[in-house]
Every structure is written in structure tokens, then in C-alpha cells.
Structure 1
Amino acid sequence: MSGRVIEGVSVEWENVRQCFSLDPAVVHLNHGSSGAVPVPAQRAQQRLRDEMEADPPRFYAVGLVDRIAHTRRHLAGFLGADPDGSALVGNTTIGTALVLGSLDARTGDEIVTTEHGYGAVRLAVDALCARSGAVHRTVPLPPAPTDDEVVAAVTGAVTGRTRLVIIDQIASPTARLFPVARITSALRPAGVPVLVDAAHVPGQLPVSVSELGADFWVGNLHKWAYAPRGTALFAVAPAWRERIRPLVVSWEQESGFPARVESQGTLDYTPWLAAPTALFTLRTLGVEAVREHNARLAEYGQRVVAAALGVEPPAGAPGLAMRVVPLPSGLATDLASASALRRRIADELGFEVAVNPYRGQGLLRLSAQVYNQASDYERLAERLPGFLASLS
């Protein structure tokens, strides 16, 4: 491909690592957790910060609502979502909080999630249930369920009291791709609303949000779509849009959804406004080329690390840039020990990875991004077995 210069940075495969400001002393194999913002998007955001600080009253008072709406239309178009039925929010956890806060849950109502769900979402549901008297029903699933098993388990957990089903499109701890379109279709006749937690979808997989049929869909653009952190799209079906209550009531309250959700006073909106530059960077590299590179490299990384540990990894879905490798028995069996092991791998070996427990089994989650190469995973495969053996 011929290179492009964006914000003074040459963006092309030959020097793609130079598009990121990551510490070269660390091997970054955990893009899925916090992402990494390309330098062009960093510079675009800094230019916006400079504009904001040069005249703060003008930045917030003159045209900001229209600028946010323009950005929203751009991001919604990339994701196949209705721009008039979508709002920009900080992350998927905030989108989940907006849904939960708009449910009017009561004693005896039920909210259904799965064991693969994200920890912060689980905590949010538990907090709502503690306040309202509702019941949190967690659907048990094996670490690597089939699509049929997922659909049967989730639909089988729904009762006449179910007020909401929350399903991951890509599960964070296990890197499983769930059949969300089948689930929304199966639950539609019962009138049970579905919230799709798509934190890892934008940029990693092609998606048409409107075609999924979910009542709510929220995905982060600051992971695989290169946007500055604090950028997510929250899409809402028409029947729910005017029922969504903002977490903070501010000046656009009377404007209705989505402006009443997006307007939060002197919030720093520069991550949102810089997000189109991030997407332009992704498109300049080539969206499909990036996805293919990342998926193939993640599969390779999983294979070589699993072989080094002498374990059989679960098959990953085609196209995913995250894969998991089971850790030896007794390691990372709970959240605290998983967090401690991740930190030791980073501090003592120099590799940033994700470590999560699932049913008492530690899972090493590896991500792949354009700044990675095969040797990153080969070096981890060389060093990790001896390190883990020393811990046990």
C-alpha cells in the first residue's frame, strides 16, 4: 500500500510500529484491555485540548453539541448503527449503567447474565439488585460453549419475570464469540429486552448494529478502533430511546436522546472529537488487512504458547484478535491471584498480558495488534514455562 501522512505521521505497514508510542522495553500482548492510541489520534486530541484551553468558554458554548453529533454520525456509520438512536458515552460500563438505571426494576424482577460476563457488569447488576430487590440470574456455561449451548442456556433461563438479558458479543475473560443475533431473535417473541456488551467489537470484527436486533448495544472504540480512551457508542432501539435516563441531568435534558445522555457539562469531550482521526488511521492501514493480520497472529501466539506449556487451547472463533491459553492447575484461580500473576509477568518478564480466572481455572489471554510480530509470542513461549514452574 502507499503510505499516508496523518497529523505529521507516516502511516504504512513498513513503519506501523512507529504509529504507536508504546514503551519498547515492554512486549505489549494485551491490546484488548486498554487499547493503544496511534500517534495521529494522540496529536488530534492534543490539538483539540489546545483549542479547549485557549478559550474554554467558547469551546463549550459555541457549536459543541453539533460537533459531538457530527462525530457520532461518523462513528455510527462505521458500526452500522442508527446515528439518531445512538449516543456517545465513556465506555461499555457506562452504557450498561444507563440501561440498568432506566429499567425501574422491582422486587422479584430478574436480570440474566452468563458466567462469561465482564466483572464490572456483574457488579453493576448486583448493585441494582441489592437496591431494588431484583434477582441476578447467572447462566452457567462451559469455558468454550458451542453456539447452540449458549442459545439454549440463555433462552432456558428466561422466565416471565425476566426484565433484561445481558449477553457479551465477545466475552472478555474467555475471548468467546457469542451468537447475539440468534439470542435476540429467540427472545423477541417474549418481549424480553437484550443488552449486548460489545466492548471488544468495534474495529476487531465487522458489525452492523442495526441488523443484530438488540434493544441495547454498546461497544468501545478505544480498544480495537484506535480511538482515545473514553469513547464508546451506545445504540438504543426506538422503543427505548425516550426512556433512557442520563446518569447526570444537564443542559441538554430537554433535547431528548441522545443529546441528554452526551451532555455532561465540562466533561473532556476531546476523546470523542478525535475518534474520527483514529478511524482514518485504521482505514489508511486497511481495515480488513489489520483484522486479518491480528487474527492470524493471535492464533499463532496461542498455538506456540500453549505448546510451550503443554496444554490444549480452546479453538477460537475465526477473525478474533484475542485468544486464551489455560494455565497450569493452581495458578490464577481467583481474581486476586490472577491480578497478582499478571503483574508479576509484567514486572519480572516484561510482557503485558491479561490473566483471568474462570471456574477456578486460570486463563492467559493474548491479544494481537499491528505493532506485534511473531517473535513477541515466541519469546513469551520461551520464558513463561520456567517462570510458572518456579511459582508452583
Structure 2
Amino acid sequence: MSPYDQGVSAGEPPAAIPGARLLFSLDPGVSYLNHGSFGAVPIVVQRAQQRLRDEVDANPMRFHAGNGLMDRIVHTRRHLAAFLGADPDGSALVPNTTTGVSLILQSVRLESADEVLLTDHGYGAVALAARRQCRRTGATARTVALPLGAGDAEVVARVRAALRPGKTKLLIVDQIASATAVALPVREIAAAAHEHDIPILVDAAHVPGQLPVEVAAIGADFWVGNLHKWAFAPRGTALLSVAPRWRRRIEPLVVSWEQEEGYPLNVEYQGTLDYTPWLASPTGLFMLRTLGWEAVRRHNAALASYGQRVIGEALGATDLPHPGHPDVAMRIVPLPAGLATTTPEAHALRARISEKLAAEVQVNAWGGRGLLRLSAQVYNRADDYDRLAEHLPQLLSEWRR
């Protein structure tokens, strides 16, 4: 697949999935084109979680201290792991991908001569966590640049060349990058890292529910992905998968009563943590399957491509980066040069678009360029993107002044 949609030929938008908009409680006055940031919880999942909250508050002692909570957590974990093709005995439920990353950074036990290798497509909070752990241990965090639009072979070659056997203690790569919406060839990257026995952590925050995945087949030492973005789970639901040789070394960020049980229970049980998002998450998967997951993926990817085309045309963009996988439902449109080149500027522009155009998008500063990121989900329609394309050029023109 070409890394670029040369000629921006996304064609007509896909047919809407009947009734899908009614499954969500989103504000009908806002074009919500940023599912990738926080997801959107379907009404049926909200209700399932509320029933669980009601159960907790009806008898907190019974819920938290009764004999059934851990069994319910294990059952849920096995259900989610099966959906993702992960080993349930090597998986743990965690609140989000960022938590899983910090847990792994703590568990690999960095020393002063070590380094953590990241890419410049990585999520900002992950980079912050890596740098903090490096400061604590005297290790070094280093970044390898991957050009936007690079093919899989070039990506693997650049990462392989950046590895330092004997020094690189951990490699962190995204399966789908947040800022650039690029799908990276994580299986091939993992194989390259393992040539030198370098462990790899895959940040798959955007993968569950967006891409078909067999976690075990990737071969990563650590893999963590959110289910509250694209798998319709309540916010606060993610799955961490750990390869067998690392499981005994996993140290939870908080020690609680299941500590002696070891991984994964010592990671999952955190006393009075709110477990209702996890326990309600299978309802989200049920809804995804009821809609038809393949149909959802096709719809979302096609609609994201359409949105990228019409907004790209409106802004005069010619080279529109393709995410590198046909099912990715996020696309980026490079903004005119000089706009949103820093993170504060990107945040300010995103807020202005929300305020003035009643549209929620993501704006990222990456590589000295502002990138507008669009998502597509079953509740979106082509006219959401058409309206943004109609009014965004004027807003950006005024923003420049």
C-alpha cells in the first residue's frame, strides 16, 4: 500500500449504519470527530455500568469483600483477552495504556548504563513517563525519527539501526500512533529487536476494536491497549499482555491485598478501585459484534478517508498521508505551514475549532507542523466532515492574523 493517497481519491462516503447514531448520548449539536481521544460510551454500556454501580452502593461490603469480585475480574479479563488474541493468564486489566506503560517501565529495572528507545511518533505521556523513569535510575531516553509516509521496510530498518545491543534496555513503539495516525509494523519491529534480545513494549492504545489483532502473534514482550476508545468499553478499561519470561518480574504500581498472588492479580486488585468499567466492558464487545465488527471497520475507515479528502481539498493539501492499514479509522490533514507548530498552539486551535465550529477534532504539533486528526465512528455522517470543510478555511485564515 502506498503511504500516501496521491490525488486524494477517497470516493463517496459509505452508507450509514442504520440507527447507529441513536446508540450514543452525544450532543447532537456537535460534530464529534475525535473518537480517538476518549471514545464515546454507548447508552447500553452506560446502563450496564450504572447497574454495577447500583450493585456496589447497595452493599459495598458484599461487592468488594465478598468472594465473587476476583472471579468476576478474572472472567472479564479472559473475555477481553480472547477478543484480542492474548494469553489470559499473561494479561491484566489496567485503567489505561499509560498506566500499563508506567508499570512496565518500573518492572524492567533500568540502570544507569541503560537506555529506553522511543520513536518520534510516540504518545507524549509515554515519553514523559520514560524520561521520568530514566531520571530516577540514571538511564537515558533516546528517540529515533521515522519520516511521515515511510514504508514498513524503511521503518523497520530505521528502528533496527537505532538499537544499541547491550545498552538498549527497552524499545517502545506504537501500533497506531496517536499524533500521526500511522500503523507501524510492530511484528517486524519486534522480530528485529529480538535479534539482539532487546525487549519491546507495544503501545496499542488505539488498537482494540479498531484493528483485528492477535496479540500473541506479534511477539512483543509487553503489549497494552485501551478498550474504551474503539471497543465501546467504559473509560478506564485497558488490557496489558506480558510474555511468559517477564511475568514474575512485574511489580504493581500500588501494593494491595493480592500482592502475594503475583501477576496478574496483584496488578488488578487495588482495594476500592472502581471496577465497574471493567465489568461492563463485555457489553461493549457485545454491541460491537451485534453491529457487525467487519461492517463497522469498513464503515469507519471509509468515512475517515472521505473526511480526510474533503477537508484536505478545502485546505489545499495535496499529499494526504495514508495510515498504512486499511482498517485505521483516523486520518490526518497537514495544516498550512506555520499553524499549530507547538503543543500550546495546537491546543488553542483545537479549542477554537470546538468553540466556533461546534466540531471536536484533535490538533497535534508534530515535526514542526500542525496536524489535524480526524476520527470516524458509526455515529458520524459525511455532513459532519462537509460542514467542517466548508468553515475551517475561514477560521484558519482568521487565526493567522
The separation in 2 between residues aligned to 1:13 and 1:331, in whole angstroms, is 35
Q: CA deviation at 1:315?
A: 2.2
Q: Which of 182, 186, 190 matches 2:196?
A: 190
Give the equivalent residue in structure 1 for 2:46: 42
The separation in 1 between residues aligned to 2:112 and 2:86, in whole angstroms, is 34
The separation in 1 between residues aligned to 2:55 and 2:173, in whole angstroms, is 40
Q: Which of 316, 321, 341 matches 1:314?
A: 321
Task: Say whether the 8 Å CA contact 1:222–1:229 is kept in structure 2.
Answer: yes
Matches within 5 A, 1:86-105: 86-105=91-110
The separation in 2 between residues aligned to 1:287 and 1:27, in whole angstroms, is 23
Give the equivalent residue in structure 2 for 1:240: 246
Give the equivalent residue in structure 1 for 2:147: 142
The separation in 1 between residues aligned to 2:167 and 2:132, in whole angstroms, is 18
Task: Say whether the 8 Å CA contact 1:112–1:162 is kept in structure 2.
Answer: yes
The separation in 1 between residues aligned to 2:205 and 2:250, in whole angstroms, is 20
One-letter code of the match for 2:169? R
Matches within 5 A, 1:373-392: 373-392=381-400
Give the equivalent residue in structure 1 for 2:8: none
1:82 and 2:90 are equivalent in the alignment: no
The separation in 1 between residues aligned to 2:17 and 2:290, in whole angstroms, is 10
Q: Which of 314, 323, 332 matches 2:331?
A: 323
Matches within 5 A, 1:164-175: 164-175=170-181
One-letter code of the match for 1:204? Q
Q: What is the identity percentage for the equivalent residue pairs of Structure 1 and Structure 2?
A: 64
The separation in 2 between residues aligned to 1:105 and 1:314, in whole angstroms, is 36
Q: Which runs of 5+ in 2 are unaligned?
A: 1-15
The separation in 2 between residues aligned to 1:91 and 1:331, in whole angstroms, is 31
Task: Say whether the 8 Å CA contact 2:115–2:141 is kept in structure 1.
Answer: yes
Matches within 5 A, 1:146-165: 146-159=151-164, 160-165=166-171
Deviations 1:337-365 (A, max 9, x none): 00010011001110000000111100000
1:23 and 2:30 are equivalent in the alignment: no
Task: Say whether the 8 Å CA contact 1:16–1:370 is kept in structure 2.
Answer: yes
The separation in 2 between residues aligned to 1:39 and 1:133, in whole angstroms, is 47
The RMSD of aligned alpha carbons is 0.9
- SS at 1:171 equivalent: coil
Task: Say whether the 8 Å CA contact 2:182–2:322 is kept in structure 1.
Answer: no
Give the equivalent residue in structure 1 for 2:357: 349
The separation in 2 between residues aligned to 1:105 and 1:112, in whole angstroms, is 12
The separation in 1 between residues aligned to 2:256 and 2:368, in whole angstroms, is 44
Q: CA deviation at 1:148?
A: 1.4
Deviations 1:15-72 (A, max 9, x none): 1111100011110000000000000000000000000000001000121000000000
- SS at 2:29 equivalent: coil
One-letter code of the match for 1:54? A
Paired residue total: 381
The separation in 1 between residues aligned to 2:17 and 2:356, in whole angstroms, is 31
Task: Say whether the 8 Å CA contact 1:143–1:358 is kept in structure 2.
Answer: no
Q: TM-score, normalised by structure 1?
A: 0.96
Task: Say whether the 8 Å CA contact 1:85–1:238 is kept in structure 2.
Answer: yes
The separation in 2 between residues aligned to 1:94 and 1:153, in whole angstroms, is 28
The separation in 2 between residues aligned to 1:129 and 1:145, in whole angstroms, is 29
Matches within 5 A, 1:56-75: 56-62=60-66, 63-75=68-80
